[in-house]
Amino acid sequence: MGWLQGDVVLVTGGGSGLGRALVQRFLDEGAAVGILERDEAKVAQLKKDFGDKVCAVAGDVTSYRDNEMAVRATVECFGKLDTFVANAGIFDFFAGLAQLDAEQLGPAFDELFAINVKAGLLGAKAALPELLKSRGSMIFTVSNAGFYPGGGGPIYTASKHALVGVIRQLAHELAPNVRVNGVAPGGMVTQLSGLAATGTAHQQLDQIDHLDAILRDITPLRVSPEPRDYCGPFVLLASRENAATITGVVINTDGGLGVRGIMKVNGGDELQPA
């Protein structure tokens, strides 16, 4: 019997990468899962793979109406909502301030913050009425970039630092009725994509050469985790029995970066201490 037996979880960006791994893990723990995913092909694949154990809908996480639709569909399918997971995100592919053209900076900021920060707030707002009924929880996917430089460029890093503030503020506002926490994974090889504003919308993390080796080299634990390796803390935070006293917390699952910091790429080739 799993830690989430009988619970209902809604995950944004659940069609691939960490989101897809979370769907699988929540199901393994006994939960039913709603999913908001922008790619209709991935929605169809989720339905094919998991059948009536999931309620997957296609929509835009930056639209309040689509978030509301996902909540409504999940509750219609499964009767309630216990946990909302704001997981959808995009990446700036380490584009530094000097690399960004002046005319790109504003649009890139708006595009990335719309998905990495605003969408989480919209989803939280849409889910809140149901979470108040169930005395449930919210979990935000942060990143090592929410705590240290070097995990992305300045726009991505700013967005993840902002999410830490969102988590703490919402935990303060919504206590004692709804717990609000986050998980800050380290790097992983996924299909995380870039920005239309910088011409990297079709670029993915898994296209970076030798990313596995780079991830092992920069972490004290010498690991290159798969998405499924990061799912445990999400299960913990969703569990009423095991996390009843936890709110306003972000669990770092970054391979030990906090004890050393991220290594910096020098000239695109060598890894040197930051």
Positions marked active-site: 156
Distance CA(68)–CA(266), nearest Å, equals 45
Q: Which residues pair with 12 in a beta bridge?
A: 36
**Who's near 255: CB < 8 A, 6+ residues apart?**
186, 215, 219, 220, 221, 222, 223, 225
- In our burial notation (b when 16+ CB lie closer than 10 A, e otherwise), range 4-39 reads beebbbbbbbbbbbbbbbbbbbbbebebbbbbbbbe
Is 189 in contact with 149 (CB distance < 8 Å)? no
Distance set, CA 89 to CA 3, 149, 264 (Å):
26, 18, 23
**Who's near 71: CB < 8 A, 6+ residues apart?**
10, 34, 81, 84, 126, 127, 130
Name the DSSP class of 135: T
Distance CA(171)–CA(123), nearest Å, equals 15
Distance CA(204)–CA(207), nearest Å, equals 6
Q: Which residue has the tokens 């939280």?
A: 124
Strand-strand pairing, 179-185 and 137-141: parallel
Q: Letter for the amino acid at 141?
A: T
